[in-house]
Amino acid sequence: MSDTAFVLIVEDEVAHGEAIAEALRRSNYACNVVSNGQAALESIGQRTPDVVITDYKLGGASNGMDVLREAKKACPDTEVLLITAYGSEALAREALSQDNRYRAYDYLIKPIDIDVLREKVHRAAKQALSAREATLLRKQLDNAFEFSGIIGTSEAIHREIRRLQKIARSKSTVLIVGETGTGKELFAQAIHQNSPRAGKPYKVLNCAAVSETLLESELFGHVKGAFTGAIADRKGLVAAADGGTLFLDEIGDMAPSMQAKLLRTLDTGEVLRVGSNDVQYYDVRFVAATNHDLAALVREGSFREDLFYRLHAQGALRIAPLRQRREDIPVLVHRFIAQANRENGTAFAEVTPEAMRKLVNHHWPGNVRELRNVVIQMCLEAEGPVLTVEELPDALQACTDIVPAGPPNLAGLSMADVEKLHIMNTLRMFGGNREKTAKALGIGARTLYRKLREYGLR
């Protein structure tokens, strides 16, 4: 499993509980051992376990059935293994009954066989993590925000959509900044569709796809005879977009000589066709996009400073790369599956948790466009009705690294919470190896053991 499962062990014989924990830690599980039902409830309240292993008979007022019930109440996805003495299996089987509202996953008989223990915990943890991922996915899908074809659940995408909604109503030029494949043209279309110019012309020019000699003609038009091959008058895209919106993609690749001419059009609405001396005026709203750092290009002298500030009149819309908003990936995956179903007449319903985990953990240098291509390809190759790891490209199948989604927001957490979170993440990074964790944290092994006990992470 790519995630370290957390196992809570409830055993009134402390030495027995520690022995179980040590066996599981060698298999890279994070464990906490408590000796009674009350301590188990407190541990569950502090951190929801993926698996609970509890003795049926416990000292004190609570027994294993009480722990089972409270664990399932706290998190229905948590799986519980009951430990019972030889000859008392009927009690455990009752807890496994389909009629039981708070049903146990399985049971273990004393004396415990370590290999059997590991196998049952592995299966229980796998089921718990898969169920938890499915629950999280349902919540993400339920909370997905869609605006003019832009969909996501992350605060990063919500923030820019809110800005887009305000900017769309204005007349100002807009700059959209984002890596290749993040959806800059989708944002440009949304600006046009939600502006007073909706229903009027919307034109697109990729500045990087047209040579410098032809760009002026494409943008402003030309008159007959202006250059070799100009056999007739031709209006440019500015004229074609009159009353509407012109989207200039990859404006950072525009030559400086064209930047000066574009700036004049932005300021005055004037257009001078190639080969003509007659100035024409058009009412066009410009939306520009780039994957470059324009400020750096200004410093290098390859982009005009006055055009830079003209494009930033409203401030730039900045679309975060997909690796910085991984919570959007499951929602996008389901959007692309639905698209593939419509286009190909298929009926794929979902993605297995293992496949989704690999999709979420991938770096996605090509961003949303790359993700879409992968999902569409999976749908073409899958037998159905569920997309599995086998349908992933080889590079994604082989990848097991969990790529961090970016620094967590620690605002509002106590210093103790921050320390606990840091220890948990470092422990996970080293697969539960406490010696390596202590060394990475710059503390002694005894100090780490003490903190693990304090934070209920053992």
State yes or no: pLDDT of 250 exceeds 50: yes
Look at the pTM and tell me if it is higher than 0.85: no
30 bridge partner residues: 6
Fold of 149-319: Rossmann fold (3.40.50)
Domain 6-141 indexed as CATH 3.40.50.1010: no
DSSP tag of 320? P
Q: What is the DSSP string of 354-376?
A: HHHHHHHHS--TTHHHHHHHHHH
Closest CA to 20 of 124, 116, 117: 117
Question: What are the sequence ranges of the domains in the chain?
Answer: 6-141, 149-319, 322-398
What is the per-residue pLDDT across 38-94, written as a single tens digit (0 to 9) for each?
888 888 888 889 999 998 888 777 788 888 888 888 888 899 998 887 666 677 677
DSSP β-ladder status, 202-206 and 245-249: parallel
pLDDT tens profile 291-348: 999 999 999 999 999 999 999 887 899 999 999 998 899 889 989 998 899 888 888 8
Write down the pLDDT at residue 153: 86
pLDDT at 403: 39
Per-residue model confidence as pLDDT tens digits over 402-417: 433 334 445 445 566 6
**How far is the C-alpha of 457 from the C-alpha of 298, rounded, in Å?**
52
CATH code for the domain defined by 322-398: 1.10.8.60
- Please give the pLDDT value at position 406: 39
C-beta separation of 101 from 70 below 8 A: no
More confident of the two residues 247 and 273? 247
The distance of Cα 304 from the centroid of its chain, to the nearest Å, equals 36
- Which residues, in sequence order, are CB contacts of 355 under 8 Å at separation 6+? 387, 388, 389, 391, 392
CA atoms of 226 and 278, how far apart (whole Å): 13
- Those residues whose C-beta lies under 8 Å from the C-beta of residue 225, and which sit 6 or more positions away, are 275
Helix (H, G, I), strand (E, B) or coil at 69: helix
pLDDT digits (tens, 9 = 90+) for 161-206: 999 999 999 989 999 999 999 999 999 999 999 999 999 999 999 9
Distance CA 27, CA 21 (A): 10
CA angle (360, 391, 366) in 5-degree steps: 45
Question: 6-141 with 149-319: one CATH topology?
Answer: yes
Gap between the Cα atoms of 78 and 84, Å rounded: 19
Is the separation of the CB atoms in 314 and 173 below 8 Å?
yes
pLDDT given for residue 427 in this prediction: 73
Structure-token pair, residue 307? 């055009």
Q: Is the peptide bond before 393 cis (omega within 30 degrees of 0)?
A: no
Using pLDDT thresholds of 50, 70 and 90, give the confidence band for residue 451: confident
Distance CA 248, CA 264 (A): 15
In this predicted structure, the answer to whether residue 107 has a pLDDT above a threshold of 80 is yes
Measured in Å, how far apart are the chain's first and last C-alpha atoms? 19
CA 47 vs. chain centroid, Å, equals 23
Query: Residues 259-265: what's their mean pLDDT?
Result: 94
Backbone angles phi, psi at 97, to 5 degrees: -60, 140
- CA-nearest of 429, 362, 367, 369 to 389 is 362
